[in-house]
């Protein structure tokens, strides 16, 4: 293998590592609770309601089956999320209750 090929291979590897590191929060979505229900909280930094509820969302996201995803994340766009905040369970049920960590955690069970 010549040096040029080696350098190109290393550059490609570096970009793969950087991209995975940037989006690894979305890979966290494979975590499930004991009953297999996962809750995803989609929020936007520019949304006033999201800014007010973000501390509660962050508390809720400490639960093993709750994932917090910022709207600029590719996963939010891929899933067609355009209303913020959106809290949705893996079975497709949307959460409409109070934006309190305890209530969101109850919704995930």
What pLDDT does residue 32 have?
A: 41
Domain, as residue range, for 50:
29-107
Q: Where are the alpha helices (DSSP H) in the chain?
A: 3-22, 24-27, 48-60, 74-78, 101-107
Count how many residues are written for the chain: 109
How many domains does the chain divide into?
1
Calculate Rg over the CA atoms of the chain.
Answer: 18
* The token pair that represents 21 in the structure block: 């590191």
- Per-residue pLDDT of the chain in tens (109 residues, 90 and over written 9): 577 777 877 777 766 665 555 444 444 444 444 455 789 898 888 888 888 999 999 999 998 889 888 877 666 666 677 778 889 888 888 889 888 988 998 888 8
- Is residue 9 situated within a structural domain? no
- The CATH number covering residue 35 comes to 3.40.30.10
- Is residue 2 situated within a structural domain? no
- Is residue 7 situated within a structural domain? no
- Is residue 23 situated within a structural domain? no
- Is residue 20 situated within a structural domain? no
pTM of the model: 0.63
- Is residue 19 situated within a structural domain? no
- Is residue 21 situated within a structural domain? no
- Is residue 12 situated within a structural domain? no
């Amino acid at each position: 293998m010549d040096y040029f090929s080696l350098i190109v291979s290393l550059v490609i590897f570096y970009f793969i590592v950087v991209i995975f590191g940037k989006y690894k929060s979305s890979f966290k979505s494979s975590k499930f609770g004991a009953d297999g229900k996962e809750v995803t909280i989609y929020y936007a930094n520019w949304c006033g309601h999201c800014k007010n509820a973000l501390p509660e969302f962050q508390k809720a996201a400490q639960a093993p089956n709750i994932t917090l995803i910022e709207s600029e994340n590719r996963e939010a766009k891929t899933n067609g999320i355009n209303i913020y905040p959106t809290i949705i369970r893996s079975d497709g049920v949307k959460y409409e209750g109070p934006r309190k960590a305890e209530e969101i955690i109850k919704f995930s069970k």
